Amino acid sequence: MTSRYRSSERAHPANSVPPSRRSVVKAAAATAVLAAPLAGALPANAASAAPAFLHGVASGDPLPDGILLWTRVTPTPEAIPGSGTGPDTEVGWAVATDKAFTRVVARGAVTATADADHTVKADVRGLAPATDYFFRFSAGGTDSPVGRTRTAPAADADVAGLRFGVVSCSNWEAGHFSAYRHLADRGDLDAWLHLGDYIYEYPTGNYGTRGTVVRPTEPAHEILTLADYRVRHAHYKTDPDLQALHAAAPAITIWDDHEIANDSWSGGAENHTEGAEGTWADRQSAAKRAYFEWMPVRPAIAGTTYRRLRFGRLADLSLLDLRSYRSQQVGIGNGDVDDPDRTLTGRAQLDWLKAGLASSDTTWRLVGNSVMISPFAVGSLPAELLKPLAGLLGLPKEGLALNTDQWDGYTDDRRELLDHLKAHAIGNTVFLTGDIHMAWANDVPFKAGTYPLSRSAATEFVVTSVSSDNLDDLVKAPEGLISAVASPVIRAANRHVHWVDTDRHGYGVLDVTAERAQMDYYVLSDKTDRDASSSWARSYRTRSGTQKVERTYRPV
């Protein structure tokens, strides 16, 4: 199905290219774990070492004239992910305007090597803007599955609308990835955003659903080495629903903490023991290298996921990296959250974000944001009363934050960013957020303590988890019970919060026009059911020029 916004522009030829503690298992063990299942997945001609495409195909980071294509080839049965073995293999790629590949507009070849875990990328340019394409890879006479992708509109194009799938927090052991299947089946997405926690680093049994493991992950131990991270990424990409979504539309991804380790910061992580688990520098380097090998991401700045994409005159999308540069988290109730020397973004990234927002000439400024920027506090008092009390007691000026891993733990960065929006009269800024395993629709106030008497700087749509545990899972309560009790309490203490669902799993669909940006929230019937159904739950929108969220009673 083609989006109602799409035109059939003609392509032209292209040029190419908290839980505790763990045991360390060597890369050889990871290889042994995966050898049997992956060898069994190979086709009948595997004995003759015919290459195979076991991990699907993907595209990402759409540009007006290009797209990044990705796959992983298994050149021989023993050349499994993380093994570091296998021959160099030439992998051809082709892009066409039809699924039968009778109208090929670009083709080329890249070499898959053991050094890159036999993953390959082709950064294809010279394509037409706002156009659907089909792509595939080939090696040794074997063709990959066919993928569909789409280029972005021309930078100066007047775009009627855009539609993005939005997901976050997909833990293999906690459930199936039915959310991906339902997004893939839509057929109307310009792209889909994964806002972090695409994989989880824990050993099996440490992060399942309601204390059980729906399906075991591989490797079974906590991932620490480059081989470990490669194996975990590879295992996730054997999921048929994830493969289907990657093959259906281009992905736009950022990382959060679990792609490396829980509650990570620039110098370490809650879920890392220096020495016993190697050095943080080595672990972080291994995790990031595996991420860039296994994800269809075009890094604008080496070693980070912050970058910006543009979709005509309608929207630009600033994508943040809120792990690589941040200061260490502080405890709940600690006034150090206001320390101007502490940072979530790092100086260079915050300046880049501010400059991009100020210079943007699009109708909407979207921000891909891995942790919630809206305040989530208890004990809020009007700022006039709180500031002197906070100074005396060493408390945070914006109330007692419940989650200092979010922007609440780095209030000076948030204040600087929101002040920048105000000083430059920057409107229509929408933060798209994951991480917290709940669905939220928020205004982003300049002063939470006096809201709604004070103004809103922006809006925020937070999507729930694909599968990772949320509140009802953690306390083993019937779905909906915790939300019924907690939501009114949260909203009473945080008057900028329009809606919060603490219990259900699913995904969002963001639909953008010149008049409004609307998030439709969808929920799954049962994340432990491979065939879970999906149903619409709620919709919220922000109208152009308002910086406020309002409920709407039908999905787009």
Model confidence pLDDT, tens digit, residues 78-121: 999 999 999 999 999 999 999 999 999 999 999 999 999 999 99
Kindly tell me if the per-residue pLDDT of 354 is higher than 60: yes
pLDDT band at 450 (very low <50, low <70, confident <90, very high): confident
What pLDDT does 372 receive?
97
- Among 48-57, 249-258, 508-517, which stretch is predicted with the lowest mean pLDDT? 48-57
* Cα 123 to Cα 145: distance, rounded to the nearest angstrom: 19
Amino acid found at 228: D
Question: pLDDT digit string (tens) for 247-285?
Answer: 999 999 999 999 999 999 999 999 999 999 999 999 999
In this structure, are strands 142-143 and 104-112 parallel, antiparallel, or unpaired? unpaired
The reply to whether CATH 3.60.21.70 applies to domain 159-552 is yes
What pLDDT does 476 receive?
85
Kindly tell me if the per-residue pLDDT of 16 is higher than 60: no
- Among 23-32, 42-51, 412-421, which stretch is predicted with the lowest mean pLDDT? 23-32
The encoded tokens of residue 33 equal: 């774990």
* Cα 205 to Cα 322: distance, rounded to the nearest angstrom: 28
- Among 25-29, 65-69, 265-269, 381-385, which stretch is predicted with the lowest mean pLDDT? 25-29
Kindly tell me if the per-residue pLDDT of 73 is higher than 60: yes
What pLDDT does 474 receive?
85
Kindly tell me if the per-residue pLDDT of 142 is higher than 90: yes
What pLDDT does 99 receive?
97
CB contact set of 242 (below 8 Å; sequence gap of 6+): 56, 170, 177, 180, 236
- Over residues 290-315, the mean pLDDT reads 94
DSSP state of 124: E
What pLDDT does 378 receive?
66
End-to-end CA distance of the chain: 16
Helix axes 240-248, 178-186, angle to 10 degrees: 30
What pLDDT does 398 receive?
61
The encoded tokens of residue 146 equal: 């066919």
Please, what sign has the CA dihedral across residues 293, 298, 303, 308? negative
* Cα 408 to Cα 378: distance, rounded to the nearest angstrom: 12
- Closest CA relative to residue 462, chosen from 499, 408, 412, 503: 499
- Over residues 475-502, the mean pLDDT reads 90
Q: Helix, strand, or coil here: 181?
A: helix
Kindly tell me if the per-residue pLDDT of 24 is higher than 90: no
- Among 25-34, 107-116, 297-306, 500-509, which stretch is predicted with the lowest mean pLDDT? 25-34
| Contact call for residues 434 and 463 (beta carbons, < 8 A) | yes
Q: Report how far apart, in Å, the C-alpha atoms of 546 and of each of 374, 431, 499, 516 are.
A: 17, 15, 18, 10
Question: pLDDT digit string (tens) for 376-421?
Answer: 876 544 444 445 444 444 545 565 667 899 999 999 999 999 999 9
Kindly tell me if the per-residue pLDDT of 25 is higher than 90: no
Residue-averaged pLDDT of the chain? 89
pLDDT band at 333 (very low <50, low <70, confident <90, very high): low
pLDDT band at 536 (very low <50, low <70, confident <90, very high): very high
Q: Helix, strand, or coil here: 418?
A: helix
DSSP state of 187: -
| Contact call for residues 237 and 72 (beta carbons, < 8 A) | yes
Count of C-beta atoms within a 10 Å radius of residue 485: 13
What's the half-sphere exposure (Cβ side, CA atoms, 13 Å) at 147? 32
Q: Helix, strand, or coil here: 543?
A: strand
**Number of helices and strands (H, E) in the chain?**
10, 26
Domain ranges of the chain: 159-552
Which burial class, exposed, middle or buried, applies to 47 when counting CB atoms under 10 A from its CB (0-12, 13-18, 19+)? exposed
What pLDDT does 528 receive?
95
What pLDDT does 396 receive?
56
Which helix (H) or strand (E) segment holds residue 555: the answer is none
* Cα 322 to Cα 342: distance, rounded to the nearest angstrom: 13
Which burial class, exposed, middle or buried, applies to 165 when counting CB atoms under 10 A from its CB (0-12, 13-18, 19+)? buried
| Contact call for residues 296 and 60 (beta carbons, < 8 A) | yes
What pLDDT does 475 receive?
82
DSSP string, 317-351: EEE---SSSPPPP--TT-GGGG-TT--SS-HHHHH
- Among 132-146, 339-353, 371-385, 463-477, which stretch is predicted with the lowest mean pLDDT? 371-385
DSSP state of 119: E
What pLDDT does 295 receive?
98
Task: Tell me which of 392 and 304 has the higher pLDDT.
Answer: 304
CB contact set of 415 (below 8 Å; sequence gap of 6+): none
Q: Report how far apart, in Å, the C-alpha atoms of 283 and of each of 219, 276, 370, 490 are.
A: 16, 12, 21, 37
What pLDDT does 403 receive?
86
